[in-house]
């Protein structure tokens, strides 16, 4: 997964398990999926992928076809309807037609024409293309109906006519004899008026059409003949007619065999919900489903299902990189984990648990288990030595048949024992007037306690809650502390809508809030019993053996709690103190004293005095032209660089020196391999120098020049080996200590190339060599020395083989 990658290399991990449409090409199946083009090799029983890394403009695809040149035509799903012609043999794009459409629903291609149905601004139409000197060119827009169409489901070219299935019935037009720009040059079948026609098929000199629960038959002259099949209990998703005249119909959960008279002969359960069905040959059918490909053998009447190894979903709203390099991604449909083997998925289920052992070979295909819990929007994800903690925004309390909670504001998942997931029903401390739990920011203090921004609580003294992890581990007691705000000595300004939380030191937290509450500083340094645990998070503040939860005098000063000074100190800072905006989405800390605030108006740096009673905002606001909104987040990497995500304007990086990387425009879909401009989360692998970016269309990874400093040269990797020149891709020397220089030297001791720190070929912990000497000429074949020097004086030498062709 991470071997031999260069700084600047992108990878894409969209979910490809939702297969919308498939076509056979020789021994391969090409499919339009939710994550690009999926290729299934029937000989090797293996999958391959074509994504934006390979030249696709969009990866969320609806339709696929193939033209006379052997090129694939693919149309994308809403909201970005793009038509693209792709040469899969050469792995390159041929042509892109981007007309700012909403959606492409169907493609039909003949020897010299192709027709594509699309929607734009709520209207549906058909684009016509014609073949000229082996190149398809756009010709015109066709409009089959005077009335506004709600959807065009299918297009089929039959001889010189184009048939169009819509929500208003069937339309046909002769594209040779008539100009089809005008609806009055189209014909409709009266018997099918206002029927929803979803599929059109030409078979044995008859034309078959399907609606929601009927199949109709027209003769070769397009004259209505009969209702071929009618069953109001079966919703027809798709169907085919085989050479024997039998129909095979797929509904949501079954495959039906129907004879020539329209009578059901047999039916079989389908494992996954189908999207479409095609006939591969006289013996085999292929179902494209929401969870893979299903091959059905008509003779033995059995299915074989194959699903590619892939994340279960394209939507993940929070991610974290674990210490061992695994990526943990959480979303409304469950959790997905990426390691060197591939993707593992833990999918939400209201009915059952199913945790199995998976060996390395199983990762050739989709790997998943199910866990009994109900999720919603995951706001935060953090990890510690015991597992992963997840916060949920907006879930209602619910229990299973064993009276265990399956919804909660916070979830704990031990990754070495997935069946030990614990769902914290935080209703009593985090419910709003509608009765659902809404927990947002999570963080871990230096004692290992879990802090949560309890956005949904009606109790102001439970807006910030702290989980006593030690008590949970030692005594299996689930105890949440509420940080007090009301009472004697309380701050006048109340924190009502906490979003994010970070720690300034052992006893000081910074808390952002939305809805114009501003920035809050919480100091919790009072320790009545001197046990090293502040009263605010101590289960027994005065060590009298009575837990604070029921103790009338928590701190043991003989003053009842309801008459006592609260055990914390709050400060509130707003625009009157120099903040750019009072609605704060995210907070971050870099170095020891640099604090950052993300608001709708950009990124602002602030400083505090020693006791955090005064704030001094920096005069300049970074990325002030970007519209950050709820869901935008900010994290820092090991080199104190800030990574800022926007829900509709991509990703931005601010280096420790205040310079944007790569520039002020950031990373967008139009200037990088980013799958979408809707960025929902960022996670950094500081050890390996990888940024993971979750978008609305899947997850990207980017090899970055920022990673943990190396203490020596023991983990140097040089690739490719041998280095064959000339080549467009340079040799990479990976794993260098900070601020290293590299020399390429011949065995006779001559310096061939000197790559210094300021060189364009130097990028963090990687150095690149193009195989040329100082004069710009390619070197001769042979063995060369790579000598590495660190600023500290350490050095190392490696040998490389160069082959000049």
- d(CA 734, CA 690) in angstroms, rounded, equals 13
Per-residue pLDDT at 429? 57
**Per-residue model confidence (pLDDT) at position 86:** 98
Residues of the chain falling short of pLDDT 70: 1-3, 401-402, 406, 426-436, 470-478
Quote the CA–CA distance of 686 and 706 in Å, as a whole number: 7
Q: Are residues 519 and 579 in contact, defined by beta-carbon separation less than 8 angstroms?
A: yes
Distance CA 610, CA 280 (A): 73
Q: Are 555 and 541 in contact, with CB atoms under 8 Å apart?
A: yes
Indicate the helix (H) or strand (E) that contains 762: strand 762-763
Cα separation, 444 vs 383, whole angstroms: 9
Return all residues near 477 (Cβ < 8 A) that are at least 6 apart.
468, 471
Q: Quick one: how many helices (H) and strands (E) in the chain?
A: 2, 67
Residue 2, pLDDT score: 43
Element (H, E) at 760: none
For residue 712, the tally of other CB atoms under 10 A from its CB is: 12
Predicted confidence (pLDDT) per residue in 558-609, tens digit: 988 888 889 999 999 999 999 999 999 999 999 888 999 999 999 999 999 9
pLDDT, residue 71, reads 97
The H or E element that residue 779 is part of is none
E strand residue ranges, 110-219: 113-120, 123-132, 135-142, 152-158, 161-166, 169-174, 187-188, 199-203, 206-210, 214-218
Tokens of 445: 């203090």
CA 334 to CA 322: how far, in whole Å? 17
Tokens 């209505």 belong to residue:
224
Per-residue CA distances from 572 to 457, 481, 517, 601, 732 (Å) = 20, 22, 8, 19, 50
Structure tokens at 726: 């000339």
**Inter-residue contact 173 to 162 (CB < 8 Å):** yes
3-state DSSP call for residue 605? strand
Tokens 């016509």, residue located: 128
> Which helix (H) or strand (E) element contains residue 427?
helix 427-430
How far is the C-alpha of 100 from the C-alpha of 119, rounded, in Å?
10
* Helix (H), strand (E) at residue 306: strand 302-306
Q: Are 509 and 451 in contact (CB under 8 A)?
A: yes
DSSP string, 507-524: TEEEEEESTT--EEEEE-
Task: Tell me the C-alpha distance between 427 and 437, whole Å.
Answer: 6
Burial 154-164 (b: 16+ CB within 10 A, else e): bbbbbeebbbb
Helix (H, G, I), strand (E, B) or coil at 46: strand
Residue in 313, 314, 320, 361 with CA at minimum distance from that of residue 341: 361
| Residues 802/771, Cβ–Cβ less than 8 Å | yes
Quickly tell me which residue has 């809050």 as its tokens. 520
Burial 374-393 (b: 16+ CB within 10 A, else e): bbbbbbbbbbeebbbbbbbb
β partners of residue 266:
257
Q: Positive or negative, the Cα torsion across 249, 255, 256, 260? A: positive
Q: How far is CA 167 from CA 96, 149, 495, 680, in A?
A: 28, 7, 52, 35
- Quick one: tokens of 426? 């935080």
Non-local CB neighbours of 415 within 8 Å, separated by 6+ positions: 322, 326, 328, 337, 387, 388
Task: Indicate the pTM of the whole model.
Answer: 0.94
Distance of alpha carbon 788 from alpha carbon 715, whole angstroms: 12
Say if CB 587 and CB 599 are below 8 A apart. no
Q: CA dist 794 to 162, 322, 709, Å?
A: 73, 30, 14
d(CA 581, CA 597): 9
Structure tokens at 32: 């339009």
498 burial type by CB count under 10 A (0-12 exposed, 13-18 middle, 19+ buried): buried
The pLDDT value given to residue 478: 65
Reading the block at residue 732, the tokens are 């990479």
What H or E segment, with its residue span, contains residue 689? none
The CB density around residue 798, as the number of other CB atoms within 10 Å, is 15
* Cα gap 527→537, rounded to integer Å: 10
Q: Give yes or no for a cis peptide into 720 (omega within 30° of 0).
A: yes
Helix (H, G, I), strand (E, B) or coil at 400: coil
Find tokens 């050095």 and name the residue. Answer: 795
Measure the CA–CA gap between 370 and 543, rounded to whole angstroms: 43
Q: What is the pLDDT of residue 1?
A: 39
Residues in the chain: 805
């Amino acid at each position: 997964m991470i071997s031999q990658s260069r700084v600047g290399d992108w990878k894409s991990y969209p979910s490809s398990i939702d297969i919308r449409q498939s076509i056979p090409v020789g021994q391969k199946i090409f499919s339009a999926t939710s994550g690009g083009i999926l290729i299934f090799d029937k000989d090797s029983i293996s999958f391959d992928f074509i994504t934006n890394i390979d030249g696709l403009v969009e990866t969320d695809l609806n339709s696929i076809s193939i033209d006379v040149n052997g090129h694939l035509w693919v149309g994308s799903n809403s909201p970005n309807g793009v038509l693209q012609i792709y040469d899969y043999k050469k792995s390159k794009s041929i042509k892109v037609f981007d007309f700012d459409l909403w959606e492409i629903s169907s493609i039909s291609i003949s020897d010299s024409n192709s027709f594509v149905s699309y929607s734009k601004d709520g209207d549906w139409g058909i684009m016509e293309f014609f073949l000229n000197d082996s190149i398809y060119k756009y010709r015109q827009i066709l409009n089959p109906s005077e009335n506004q169409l709600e959807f065009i489901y299918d297009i089929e070219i039959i001889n010189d006519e184009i048939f169009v299935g819509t929500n208003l019935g069937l339309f046909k037009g002769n594209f040779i004899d008539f100009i089809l720009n005008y609806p009055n040059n189209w014909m409709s079948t009266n018997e099918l008026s206002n029927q929803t026609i979803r599929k059109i098929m030409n078979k044995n000199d008859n034309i078959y059409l399907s609606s929601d629960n009927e199949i109709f038959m027209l003769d070769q002259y397009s004259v209505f003949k009969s209702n071929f099949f009618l069953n109001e209990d079966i919703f027809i998703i798709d169907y085919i007619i085989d050479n024997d005249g039998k129909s095979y119909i797929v509904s949501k959960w079954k495959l039906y065999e129907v004879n020539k008279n329209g009578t059901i002969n047999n039916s079989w359960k389908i494992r996954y919900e189908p999207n479409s069905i095609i006939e591969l040959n006289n013996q085999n059918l292929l179902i494209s489903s929401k969870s893979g490909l299903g091959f059905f053998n008509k003779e033995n009447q059995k299915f074989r299902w194959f699903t590619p190894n892939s994340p279960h979903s394209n939507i993940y709203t929070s991610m974290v990189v674990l210490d061992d390099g695994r990526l943990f991604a959480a979303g409304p449909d469950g959790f997905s984990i990426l390691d060197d083997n591939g993707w593992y998925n833990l999918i939400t289920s209201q009915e059952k648990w199913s945790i199995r052992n998976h060996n390395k070979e199983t990762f050739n295909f989709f790997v998943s288990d199910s866990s009994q819990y109900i999720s919603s929007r995951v706001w935060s994800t953090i990890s510690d030595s015991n597992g992963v903690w997840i916060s949920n925004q907006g879930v209602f309390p619910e229990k299973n048949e064993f009276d265990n909670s399956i919804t909660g504001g916070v979830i704990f998942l031990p990754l070495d024992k997935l069946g030990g997931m614990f769902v914290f029903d935080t209703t009593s401390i985090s419910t709003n007037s509608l009765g659902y739990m809404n927990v947002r920011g999570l963080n871990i203090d230096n004692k290992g306690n879990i802090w949560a921004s309890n956005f949904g609580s009606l109790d102001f003294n439970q807006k910030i809650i702290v989980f006593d992890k030690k008590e949970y581990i030692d005594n299996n007691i689930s105890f949440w502390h509420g940080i007090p705000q009301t009472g004697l000595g309380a701050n006048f300004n109340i924190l009502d809508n906490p979003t994010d939380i970070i720690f300034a030191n052992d006893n000081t937290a910074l808390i952002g809030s939305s809805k114009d509450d501003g920035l809050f500083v919480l100091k919790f340094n009072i320790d009545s019993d001197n046990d090293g645990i502040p009263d605010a998070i101590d289960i027994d503040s005065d060590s009298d053996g009575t837990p604070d939860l029921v103790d009338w005098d928590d701190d043991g000063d003989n003053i009842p709690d309801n008459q006592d000074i609260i055990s914390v100190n709050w400060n509130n800072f707003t625009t009157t103190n120099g903040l750019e905006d009072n609605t704060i989405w995210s907070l971050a800390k870099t170095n020891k004293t640099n604090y950052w605030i993300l608001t709708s108006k950009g990124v602002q740096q602030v400083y505090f005095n020693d006791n955090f009673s005064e704030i001094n905002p920096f005069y300049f606001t970074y990325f002030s032209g970007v519209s950050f909104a709820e869901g935008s987040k900010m994290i820092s990497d090991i080199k104190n660089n800030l990574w800022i995500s926007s829900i509709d304007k991509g990703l931005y990086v601010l280096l420790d020196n205040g310079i944007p990387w790569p520039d002020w425009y950031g990373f967008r879909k139009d200037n990088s391999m980013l799958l979408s401009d809707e960025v929902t989360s960022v996670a950094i692998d500081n050890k390996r120098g990888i940024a993971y970016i979750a978008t609305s269309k899947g997850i990207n990874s980017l090899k970055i020049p920022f990673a943990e400093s190396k203490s020596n040269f023991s983990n140097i990797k040089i690739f490719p080996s041998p280095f064959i020149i000339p080549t467009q891709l340079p040799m990479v020397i990976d794993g260098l200590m900070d601020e290293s220089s590299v020399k390429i030297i011949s065995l006779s001791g001559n310096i061939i190339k000197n790559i210094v720190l300021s060189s364009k070929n130097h990028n963090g912990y990687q150095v690149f060599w193009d195989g040329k000497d100082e004069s710009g000429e390619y070197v001769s074949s042979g063995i060369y020395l790579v000598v590495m020097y660190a600023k500290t004086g350490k050095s190392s030498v490696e040998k490389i083989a160069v082959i000049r062709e």
